[in-house]
Structure 1
Amino acid sequence: MSRNGFPRHPLTRAVLSGLILASSSAIALAQENTPTDLGRVTVTGSLIPQTQIENHTPVLTVTAEDIQTRGFTSVAEVLQQNSLTTGGLQGGQTSASFTQGAEASGMFGLSPSYTKYLINGRPMLSYPALYNGSDTFNNLSGIPIDIVERIEILPGGQSSLYGSDAIAGVVNIILKDRMDGGVLNVRGGGYTEGGGNDFRVSGAHGFNAFDDRFHALVNVQYEKSSPIWGYQRDLTKQNNTKGYTPQVPTNDFLVYLPDQQNAYVMMDPTRCANVAGQFGGTTVLGTRATGESCGSPFSAGYKTLKNGKESSQIYSSMSFDVNDNFQLFADALYSLEEVQYNAGSGYAFWGSDVGFGAFVDQASGEYMNLQRAFAPEDISAAGYRDIMSTDRNKAYQVTLGGRGNVGNWDYSASFSRGEYKLTERSFARWANEIDSYFEDRVLGPVLGVTDDGYNIYNPNWGAFYSPLPAGDFQTFTGFTYNKSRTWQNLGRAQITNGSLFKLPGGDAGLAVVAEAGSEGWSYTPDQRLLDGSVWGTTSVAGAGHRSNYALTSELRMPLLESLTVTASGRYDAFKIADKTVDKSTYSIGVEFRPIESLLFRGKYGTAFRAPSLSDAFQGRSGYYANGSVDYYRCGELGFNPSDTVGCAYANESVFGEQSGNAELEAITADVWNAGIVWAPINNLSVSVDYYNWKIKNEVNTLSSDQLLLAEYYCRNGQTNNTSASCQNVSDWITRDGTGKLEKIYTPKMNIASQNLQAVTASFKYVQDIGRFGALQFSSNYTNMIKRELQPQPGDDYLDLLRDPYAMWNYDQYAKVRADGAVGWAKDKWTTTLYFNYIGKTPNRMAYLGKGYDYVHPSGYEAGKWGSYTTYNLSVNYQAMDNLTLSMMVNNVFNKMPDGQAHSYAGNIGAPYNSSIYNPYGRAVYVQAKYEFGKK
């Protein structure tokens, strides 16, 4: 290290230069790049302060200035557009998902629950509702973006430092803790295609007192945005016009015959004339190969693509220097948020098959079912805006602690408490009321019963094919209220010595951390969802808590000036129900610098994920396993499990139940990475890293087929190769006195495995161009080399990179992602162009044909959608010393995923892969930032 404390390696100077420039103002960016005293800093990925920014673990940093200049509107957007986020995600576009009002992210296509999310180094609270109905995850929407100092993203397994969940990586969202004076930010804008209007205002102020021994920061942020509706985009306002089949209307008024392969039959003598005014006057007669129905091709547009939101956050951080060696600190974050969305007309309908089943039409003698969607005219003058579902959540997290030093030892101790409450107000159709309404208004009295038990009616077809009278819709609809909650307590103590003893390469460092805490989860659905009062919708309750403690240590040893070895180990124990799940993890990292400008790095370690509270305590939910093979009874008839063709019990329908399982073990992973960082000159650095995961004991449910096959083996004294023991089989399969299957039970189990490989690359370059200012270039790249999944023991591994059918069924993601920025600064101006690149992904036709060699009879071929790149542009002008004006244009060229439409049918309302792409289009924002009170 040089005398001024700045690391002498060009490698470190180059990376630091990039960080300094990325976080500087417009004037500073254009000035000469002068080294600054860095000293020792703590970087996510190590507990020991150090002078080297690049070490054995790659860390990607997104600064507050990056967030501003690249046009990001939220923390969730920062992470979702990151090159490491190769996987598809559920969110506002995913109609009727379990967490449509939340915002998630993940890494390398793995579940969001495989990434550890931290705020100021402490674990975020889990969202009370479950991702995809079964998985615990973190909602990223409640973090005030204007007070974010930086976001540090640490890819790869990190459990030896951060414990459970850190299999894919760690994200540390670091909020500002000090400020000289104050700042007021006002921003507004919206989408040029319509909808999504947004207004955000935030203010922050720093306070200093007691001879500069006391420091406090208070930030308040408020934001309100309107939703984007499907009818506001050409791609989603109507059923697909560019598909491999002609466009057809939605079946909004449908009569079909269940005993004639569900053939459609037109029973309206006016042939849809009476309902032509529905959906804004777009309802017409639709003809398919299956028959005729009345419907609108535009009904698909009556759903939200992007949630509306109103949110407020208050954040405060403070510290007090008791003396030169001891400091008290505290911080608190409170968030109140209300999110609105609508799943659309596809989830606002009535059908006879769900309630009382098929009936017989007296006039024709045919078995029939009815289906009736509700148009905005049926609802009210405001239409679908009157039946918005609302997620209202409030959360807080408070930390109190102290830190100091004694000699070469630094110490800290803290206690954190957090709680997250969620109320989901969801549109509902009351079962008895809606069935009775259509029975009374359309079907009329029961005229008799057929020999096989079906009611006979003489329907009033005029009433069926007509708009609802005003006010009728409200007699059979309303809202349900689900309440859920998570809470967390965590005590943490750490001691660190950065100069434990001397080694040839420098001082060795040691850190030891002890943690203990508890957390709980409860999900209490509206009772009407559980007792059958709600038409077509059910829910699942669950509640539980766990306690845990952990001990972590890290030792950093610079064995030579060119060689540093870092070892870390951690022991975690979780008390879940009456069971203790414990796990030891470790990692060994190596940094080798053969010359000052070149770093070789690598790390090998283990990672894990403890059973989540939802995995352990989620309640039972029912389903029907149709087409099941009863291997045991087929065996009694002489059939072998490998050939049950002709067996009378080879196509059974059996009721099944799924649930959490308090006996689950931890998910485990072996993870290693290796890479190189090269900095030939002070203002250039390039890095490439390779990652490898082998994940075992993943949580999944045993299929009904696997369970029934296990029963055959157990009852016949043969080897059972499934994860269910013979005792499990006996407990989980119920038969009546005659031996007929009555019920099967498939709880969550540790049965799946995955293997992943990925390569990432990063590039940073800064060029001073004299009187023309300065240029900065940066980019990041991720390429998934391998991803294979074994759903259950004994199954073949599925290739999720090359098998499009498996990819669409199990996960949807891009093999390659990249992003980057070019910044130019001169005098009072800075301009940044940011790009986001999504590589080729399988088209829908490849899924339908289960391979890339499929050709549809229409002539459309299976294949891949081309790469997809969007650009954001920002311009910042420092109008005065304390006033900066900004304009941001996101998706400058108004890029849309409309090129995907040809591989979707003509009855699809969103003909694109909504888990990866969106049709929001161009957004324009203006912002004013005013700073005041600086000394």
Structure 2
Amino acid sequence: MSVRHTNAPKRSQLSAALFAALAVTTTCTSFAQEQTAATPDTSSTQTSTLDKVTVTGSRIKRTEIEGPSPVTVITSAQIEREGFNTVYDALNTLTQAGGAAQNEIFQGGFTPNASVINLRGLGPGRTLLLINGRRAADYPLPYNGQSNFANFGNIPAAAVDRIELLAGGASAIYGSDAVAGVINVILKTNFEGDILKVRGSTSTRGGGDIGDVQWIGGKTGDNWSVTYAAEYYTSEPLYAYQRDFMDSSLDNPLPPDFVGIQPTGTMRVRRRTGSTAGSYFAPPAGACEQLGDEWVRWNYRSANAAGVITNLGQSCGSFKDVAYQTIRNGNNDLSGYVFGTYDFENGMQAWGSLQAWTSKAKYGAGTQFWGGRTVGGLWFDQGFNALVDAQRVFTPQEAGGVENLLAKNDEKSYDLAFGLRGTIADRFDWDVTLSRAEYNVQVDRPRLLSTSVNNWFLGPQLGTQVVGGVTYPVYRLNQSRYYTALTPQEFAALNTVVKTDAESFVNQASFTISGDLFEMPAGPLAFAAVVEASQQEYTLTADRRILPDYTGTDRPYNLTGTGGGGDRDRYALGVEFSIPIFSMLKASVAGRYDKYDDITSVDDAKTWNAGLEFRPLDSLLFRASYSTSFRAPDMHYVFAERSGSFSAIFDTRRCLESGRTAAQCPSSDTTINYTSFGVRQGTTDLTEETGKSWTAGVVWDIMDGLSISADYYHIELEDAVADITTAYILDGEAGCVTGLTRNRQPFTLGAPGSAFCNDMLSRVTRLSAPGTPNDGQITEIRRGPINRAFLGTKGIDATLDYRLDTDRLGDFRLQLGYSHTLEQTTSQFKGDPILDYRDDLTNFDFRSRVRATATWQKNDWQAAVFALRYGSLPNWQETGRIAPYIVYNMSVGKQVTEKLGVNFYVNNVLDKVHPRDDGYNSYPYFWRAFSPIGREVALELEYKFN
């Protein structure tokens, strides 16, 4: 937020009240605020004359706090007072950020070390991240292996002054990607003095220790200033086995079928033909007892839908293998920031800014396993004289410790900017900015080598054998090796390190000018204009051994990846006007033209917005806005190279061909539910996504110290880009072959021989193996991005802000923020009906969120209580919804001396981990939006050197 120092007009009563509210350090949800010269005493409530400021969502400087669109503000003091360790932790509690997203609990994803925000449930890539109003570099690894997005985990808390959120379309101001909203991180400036903060925290359930050291300072001279910050943040990895409610598959609240909970087969060899197909060969005596209780000898059973139980025989198994994944990453982060200005005698000012961050992280998805070397894992074994498959899960003890199973990320990013600014004719402010933002990631991931582990257990191929008319390779399993725990040295010899390197950058140049053009009867006509040019590029270099077409003998076992890279140039011109129509009514309009130079068919985009502010009373504001937005095709959707991945699927065609509906094909039926290989590739045929956004609301300063606001929002997005889902392809293939839907109703999307059916059938490859369990099993599914039809959402945001100042008892503050989704709509393809999926029992976006902060301050003491209420979610069995869920944080602090302060924090006071869902039978037995950390306590010392 830039500041123009002028003789500002007198503020209205409403503006003064709201600005005074924002000056308090515990601001929860509000509109844009003034940036004053920072002082070390962040608890000061003193206000000063309001200068004209630039608010996120507009480039025009204004004296009013609120505008036609609501802006939420989180201050650095708020982040600290509410107990959050990082900027992302605070952002993730925004009421508008209720969309489901992958996080550190989901270690099976492509970006387990990144932190994403999903505003309005429209997807992480549709939220624009700005640093001081400049576009940040994308995280160079694709979200879910598909699309680029912004990482909110690399923002150092020490450097942040405040964060402003505009939730809604803002492309007319900022260009592409500002569809669901804009998050503008504003870094500290004009700081005076030096502050050292040292904080340590731990969890009361054990593990999860965190340390944080921050140094924040600044100096000013007659014609210069410098602000600086440094931070070191460290956290130890936290494992699932450190939480007793998820340390074993025995924690499953609902056994999958009549046989109850059974351990994962860790030393299992299974017969696949004959009358006893599916039965296990018993391991030798002592095999399952080698590592204490790590493995157990188990008599496995299976049950059909009617409850008939079949004994399968003995195998070694483990209840513990699920719990060796991390549920919070280990991090060592170091960041630095410096901002400086120099004032020339002619009134021009030069400025420069550098924010840099480096991180070394480690995390893990759990154990590794081996399941054979051929398609489907089948071979004829001379030792067992049978067609078999096998599964061998390796324990951390065999790896030499769980640390040796962890992947490691080395990440670096920086944002460098400098420029000149000044005033023309004492009327127009101008700014020229040049900047570069860059992000680099290197991932090292341990993985078994296919050839090495295959040779270790199977040795050379001994010929072929025809079984059921199908030819299979012949091996002899080395049972001595298979049923004996590996030494760490043997395990290391079977492993390799898979390396992925990725980088992205964005170079930007801009010129902005703003000011008052001329006086109108109701006030000045203000305007702003901007000219921009930028270059964007990313490169993703995956280890060539994990690419789907690699044929070398040193391929990592059961692992695929994605590569890609490309560049894009963009030029833009934008203009805004603020038009006072009469004393109570003001209008604003903006327009922007973006010109693209890349390999896609997108040539340009034109967007605009308009807003109205009606103030019938000084204490009452009615407002409304309309805006158009767009998102250029995501670069990885365009430039992604052929990549592959394994995923669990539901084989709709097999289910229907068996005479059942989808509901009658249980998850325990492995002929229907199994893992398949899928490939995808980017395409240059994509067009831009186009959006529309409406808001309408009211702000009412009811009385001194009490104000409320309520805003309705409505966002629509056409031509939304997404992959054709695997489920859609498999349902389409099944419908084209059987003529039926999942529920065995007539299939109407296409007939055999139609373009639709030819496309669906071409995307699925099946194995032809007559007489075997794998006959007709899917071996490859081909996906890819397309411009699908429609996404939409409607809802309400509301806030309440109440302050009571007393002489005897101190000063009290209560702030509430509330968001409620009224409707979420979608259609898969053009011409499909638009469906409301808000209440769909497969939709895990929160329908509502409430955020509340109560604070108290008296003399040298201060305290705060923070609460976040999550709305209800579907239960896992899709039969209803589970109850809402509330987490509380508390803090108390005292200024011990003039220079020394002490703060104590308790996060998740009631030690909640997740709401109860007795039907959640998939590990970790709760939805990933809920934290398994439990209660955390922290102590912070703050020392002021000035």
Does 1:241 pair with 2:254?
A: no
Moved more, 363-372 or 743-752: 743-752
Shift of 1:105: 1.0
In structure 1, C-alpha distance between the alignment counterparts of 2:624 and 2:514, rounded to whole Å: 24
Paired residues for 1:264-343 under 5 Å: 264-270=278-284, 273-278=286-291, 281=294, 283-285=296-298, 287-289=300-302, 291=312, 292-343=314-365
3-state secondary structure, aligned to 2:54: coil
Matches within 5 A, 1:77-226: 77-209=89-221, 212-226=222-236
Which of residues 398, 401, 416 is equivalent to 2:419?
Answer: 401
Mapped partners of 1:36, 1:174: distance in 2: 20
Measure, in 1, the Cα distance between the counterparts of 2:252 and 2:652.
Answer: 38
For 1:831-846, what aligned pairs fall within 5 Å after superposition? 831-846=863-878
**Maintained 8 Å contact 1:151/1:173:** yes
How far the C-alpha of 1:747 sits from its partner, in A, is: 3.8
Matched, 1:66 2:78: yes
Indicate if the aligned counterparts of 2:560 and 2:644 stay in contact, CA closer than 8 A. no
Instruction: Pick from 784, 788, 793 the counterpart of residue 830 of structure 2.
Output: 793
Relative to structure 1, is the Cα distance of residues 110 and 744 closer, same or farther in structure 2, using a 3 angstrom cutoff? Answer: closer
**In the TM superposition, what is the alpha-carbon distance from 1:23 to its structure 2 partner?**
6.1
- Residues 510, 554 of structure 1: 8 Å contact kept: yes
Residues 824 and 836 in structure 2, CA contact (< 8 A), matched pair in contact too? yes
- What is the alpha-carbon distance in structure 1 between the residues aligned to residue 678 and residue 894 of structure 2? 63
Distance 1:527 1:623 in 2: 14
CA contact (8 A) 1:279 1:376 kept: no
C-alpha separation between the residues in 2 aligned to 1:305 and 1:629? Answer: 36
Choose 592-601 or 258-267, whichever is displaced more: 258-267
Separation (CA, whole Å) in 2 of partners of 1:744 and 1:894? 43
How far apart, in 1, do the equivalents of 2:43 and 2:416 lie? 40
Most deviating of 889-898 and 356-365: 356-365
Higher mean displacement: 460-469 or 126-135: 460-469
**Does 1:384 pair with 2:397?**
no
C-alpha distance in structure 2 between counterparts of 1:459 and 1:297, whole Å: 25
Could you tell me whether the CA contact under 8 Å between 1:500 and 1:507 is conserved in 2? Answer: yes
1:392–1:726 CA distance, 2 compared to 1 (3 A)? same
Q: What amino acid is the match of 1:789?
A: T
What are the superposed Cα offsets for residues 778-824 of structure 1, whole Å, 9 maximum, x if unpaired? 0111111101221223444443222213x2xxxx2211111110000
Distance 2:514 2:275 in 1: 72
Aligned amino acid, residue 92 of structure 2: Q
TM-score by length of 1: 0.87
Q: Is 1:896 aligned to 2:910, yes or no? A: no
Does residue 1:524 correspond to 2:541, yes or no?
yes
- Give the equivalent residue in structure 1 for 2:308: none
| Deviation of 1:419 (Å) | 1.7
Report the Cα distance in structure 2 between the residues aligned to 1:628 and 1:813, rounded to whole angstroms.
26
Deviations 1:521-570 (A, max 9, x none): 11111122122511101112111000001111110012112111000111
Alignment correspondent of 1:373: 393
Are 2:371 and 1:351 aligned?
A: yes
Distance 1:286 1:928, change over 3 A: farther
Answer whether contact 2:198 2:213 (CA < 8 A) is retained: yes
Which residue number corresponds to residue 611 of structure 1?
633
Matched, 1:232 2:242: yes
Residue type at the aligned position of 1:489: N
SS of alignment partner, residue 68 of structure 1: helix
For residue 709 of structure 2, what is the aligned residue in structure 1?
687
- Could you tell me how far 1:628 is from its partner in structure 2? 9.2
Amino acid of the structure 2 residue aligned with 1:19 = L
Is the Cα contact below 8 Å between 1:26 and 1:830 reproduced in 2?
A: no
Alpha-carbon shift at residue 277 of structure 1 (Å):
4.1
Is the Cα contact below 8 Å between 2:462 and 2:473 reproduced in 1?
A: no
CA-CA distance at 1:417 after TM superposition = 1.0
Distance 1:332 1:693 in 2: 35
Give the aligned residue type for 1:85.
Answer: A
Shift of 1:178: 2.0
Distance 1:118 1:203 in 2: 24
Amino acid at match of 2:871: G
- Look up the match of 2:449: 430
Q: Is the partner of 1:492 in helix, strand or coil?
A: strand
Q: Distance in 2 between matches of 1:501 and 1:814?
A: 47
> Quick check: 1:551 aligned with 2:576?
no
> Where does residue 649 of structure 1 map in the other structure?
none
Matched residue pairs, number? 865
Give the match for residue 417 of structure 1: 436
For the residues of structure 2 that align with 1:433 and 1:586, how far apart are their CA atoms? 60
Q: Name the structure 2 match of 1:633.
A: none
2:273 is the counterpart of 1:254: no
TM-score (normalised: structure 2): 0.86
Amino acid at match of 1:427: P
Letter in 2 for 1:67: I
The equivalent residue for 2:927 is 913
Greater RCO (Cα-Cα under 8 Å, separation 6 or more)? 1
Alpha-carbon shift at residue 400 of structure 1 (Å): 1.1
Shift of 1:657: 4.6
Q: Map 1:688-707; keep pairs closer than 5 Å.
A: 688-702=710-724, 704=729
Tell me, yes or no, if the aligned pair for 1:201 and 1:223 is still in contact at 8 Å: yes
Answer yes or no: is the 8 Å Cα contact 1:229–1:302 preserved in 2: yes
* Residue in structure 2 matched with residue 853 of structure 1 by the alignment: none
| SS of residue matched to 1:289 | strand
Q: Is the 8 A contact 1:278 1:376 kept in 2?
A: no
Structure 1 position 295, deviation (Å)? 1.3
Q: Is the 8 Å Cα contact of residues 567 and 598 (structure 2) preserved in structure 1?
A: yes
Shift, 1:493, TM fit: 0.4
Shift of 1:96: 2.1
Letter in 2 for 1:903: G
Cα shift at 1:156: 0.9
Q: Secondary structure at the match of 2:344?
A: strand
State the distance in 2 between where 1:126 and 1:877 align. 41
Cα gap change, 1:260 to 1:875, in 2 (>3 Å):
farther
CA contact (8 A) 2:723 2:786 kept: yes
Flag the 1:521–1:710 CA change in 2: closer, same or farther, 3 A: farther
Distance 2:433 2:276 in 1: 64
- Deviation of 1:920 (Å): 0.5
Structure 2 gap ranges (5+) = 1-5, 28-37, 304-311, 655-674, 738-747, 766-775
CA contact (8 A) 1:230 1:302 kept: yes
More displaced stretch, 183-192 vs 573-582: 573-582
CA distance in 1, matches of 2:697, 2:683: 40
Q: Deviations 1:868-917 (Å, cap 9, x if unpaired)?
A: 111111111111222221111111111111622x1123xx4310001x11
| CA offset digits 1:345-394 (Å, max 9, x no partner) | 2xx000016568312344765421100100112111xx111121011111
Between the aligned partners of 1:672 and 1:843, the Cα distance in structure 2 is 32
Q: Check 1:294–1:826 CA distance in 2 against 1; reply closer, same or farther (3 A cut).
A: same
CA-based RMSD of the aligned residues comes to 3.4
Letter in 1 for 2:359: E
Deviation at 1:258, TM superposition (A): 4.2
Distance 2:809 2:232 in 1: 38
> Which residue is 2:35 aligned to?
none
Single out whichever of 369-378 and 621-630 deviates more from structure 2. Answer: 621-630
Structure 1 partner of 2:901: 884
Task: Give the unaligned 5+ runs of structure 1.
Answer: 631-652, 713-718, 847-861
Residue 571 of structure 1: CA displacement? Answer: 0.8
Q: Deviations over 1:240-264 (max 9, x none)?
A: 4352214322222222344589965
1:596-635 Cα shifts (integer Å, max 9, x gaps)? 11111110111110112111101123579996989xxxxx
Distance in 1, matches of 2:397 and 2:589, equals 66
Give the deviation of 1:582 after TM superposition: 1.1
1:47 and 2:79 equivalent?
no
Cα offset, 1:707, TM superposition: 9.0
- Given that 1:218 and 1:314 are in contact with CA atoms closer than 8 Å, whether structure 2 keeps it comes out as yes
